[in-house]
Structure 1
Amino acid sequence: MQSSEAGPLAVDETAKSEFAAIDWSMPWFAQFAARGQRWQHAALASYAALLAEMNADASEMRQTTGRGQRLGFIAQDDLPSGASYEAHIASTGCVPTRHNLHDFFNGSMWFAFPRIKAALNARQSTAIDALGIGPTRGGVRDTLTLFDENALLFACADPSLSAALRGFDWQTLLVARRDAWGARCEVRCFGHALLEKLIAPFKACTGHAWIVDVPSAYFEWDRPERDAWLDQTVSAALLGTDSLTSRMFAPLPVLGIPDWWAENELPAFYDDTSVFRPGRRNR
């Protein structure tokens, strides 16, 4: 691996400023702050140092990708010419990674939710085997990509709250039932493109919520237990559902999540219909 002083793995000043902007106190980043801060220090040193830190963690975790290959991270330039990104990960275990926030957060999800990432890779690579690489991905691959890039995991033990989310009933979900958050429902950020956007949060920033029905006891478990349960349950759903479509998601403006943004403590925050829209089901 090349030195951080020169060459393709050298320090990039633009990348350094991007990595320095991560605020680990924000709730969407706090879920993986312990590992993330360590990776951030490496990324600020050099591209080579970031890859080394990621691979050290991968070696310790012994995680596998979609077809059972041991997870590792390589420089983007090491992806063979003409090779498909997802197929390469499935067949070799090696995730091509650039020195930028997008791939930093992508790598983070391989550790936060390893089974979900492996399931997405397995489904993507199987679709590629069947249909090849063309100008369009097709419906299933589009849905998998949407999940990978922009998903929120909405864990919920109350069907009325899930119904409010599906029905764009923001007043019920985010105002009247505000006390249910943390006790009957909660959210995890998964999509790495969504996390990249949340470096500079804006009111209209919206994730695609994948609703996960959880038992009431879920909210009595500690955070690692809940994450492991979500990882297992959602990965099984991704592998076991034949017809994956974008209609399976519900839009959720991230800054509207209770306790995630100070301004949403005022009910008037949710009166902005350009963000909290009535939605297709209520029109």
Structure 2
Amino acid sequence: MRVRGADAPWLRPYAASLAWLDAAPPDTRTAQRLESLRQRPGAASAVPTFVPHEWLPTGEAYEAFIHRTGQVPTRDNAHDAFNGLVWWRFPATKARLNRLQATEIARLGIGGRRGPVRDALTVFDENGALLHAPPALWAALRARDWHTLFVAQRAWWREAALVLFGHALLEQLQRPHKALTAHVLCVPMPAPPLDPEPNVDGDGAAPHPWDAALAATLDGWSAEAWAAKPFAPLPVLGVPGWWPDNAHASFYDDARVFRPPRPPTPIGAGAAGA
């Protein structure tokens, strides 16, 4: 798997593992590439096995199969390769999300719609992000106050760290465009290491420093908490240092991307006779 822009800032947490995958012979299947990460020093032990996608039985839900077998069906494409890399970096968190998906499938079955809990889990799994930031940035993010977040308080980003969790978002950033938006989980992350840039993937495929704390936090969440979709939208190319054009304040004037907050619903709106 050859990744475009492998030195991009959003790929730093996955950089060493990506290089390992790219070193495999060209005809190596994606599942084999991901399995080869077990050979690295410090590799996580709790990561499920990656198997070819055709091992998924017809009619069985993908998430239910992973939960039942401890195997991740993997297609030979960038989407599934990034999914595997996130499994290696966040094994405890991914396992927690998979258990929740499997529980909902066992409870409700597979129908034409996932339902609110599985919808929210899928949003985070595909497009989620994790943020450590000063309170002023968190407040601006939740308020969708883009000028404060990216212009007035821009210097605060030196104390922030954003890690993309969603594998679909990582795949889409192979062809970056301004509208790409992460769903930031509204759970502030611990402070990152003092020097998180060099060798961010460690000497092996070790879990990210945030994985254990995040999984422990999510263990206490109810289905209702997920159904409420506890996310804040963040156009990722607006992050200082992530895209050259955002050095100019006018970059954030595009209301199609940096959308204003929704106005509050008037009291009584939608009631009979309103």
Asked if these proteins are the same fold (TM beyond 0.5), I'd say yes
Tell me what 2:179 maps to: 204
The aligned length equals: 253
| 1:233-283 CA distance string (max 9 Å, x none) | 222232211121354111100100010001101111111111111121579
Which one has the bigger helix percentage?
1
Tell me what 1:239 maps to: 219
Tell me what 2:71 maps to: 94
Tell me what 1:16 maps to: none
Distance in 2 of aligned mates of 1:206 and 1:246:
19
Tell me what 1:113 maps to: 90
Tell me what 2:112 maps to: 135
Distance in 1 of aligned mates of 2:92 and 2:4:
25
Tell me what 2:272 maps to: none
Distance verdict in 2 for CA 1:257–1:63, change over 3 Å: same
Distance in 2 of aligned mates of 1:96 and 1:54:
11
Equivalent position SS for 1:209: strand
Tell me what 2:32 maps to: 52
Distance in 2 of aligned mates of 1:211 and 1:274:
23
Equivalent position SS for 1:188: strand
Quote how far apart the aligned CAs of 1:128 are. 1.2
Is 1:171 the counterpart of 2:147 in the alignment? yes
Equivalent position SS for 2:88: helix
Superposition TM-score, scaled by structure 1 size = 0.82
Tell me what 2:60 maps to: 83
The one-letter code sitting in structure 2 at the alignment partner of 1:135 is G
Tell me what 2:241 maps to: 259
Distance in 1 of aligned mates of 2:179 and 2:61:
33
Distance verdict in 2 for CA 1:152–1:246, change over 3 Å: farther
Tell me what 2:258 maps to: 276
The counterpart of 2:158, out of the listed 182, 199, 215, is 182
- CA RMSD in angstroms comes to 2.2
Distance in 1 of aligned mates of 2:259 and 2:119:
24
Distance in 2 of aligned mates of 1:63 and 1:136:
34
Higher relative contact order (CA 8 A, sep 6+): 2
Quote how far apart the aligned CAs of 1:161 are. 1.5
Percent identical across equivalent pairs? 42
The one-letter code sitting in structure 2 at the alignment partner of 1:146 is V
Distance in 1 of aligned mates of 2:212 and 2:263:
31
Contact 2:120 2:229 in 1 (8 A): no
Superposition TM-score, scaled by structure 2 size = 0.85
Distance in 2 of aligned mates of 1:258 and 1:228:
22
Quote how far apart the aligned CAs of 1:220 are. 5.2
Distance verdict in 2 for CA 1:140–1:205, change over 3 Å: same
Unmatched tracts of structure 2, length 5 or more? 266-274
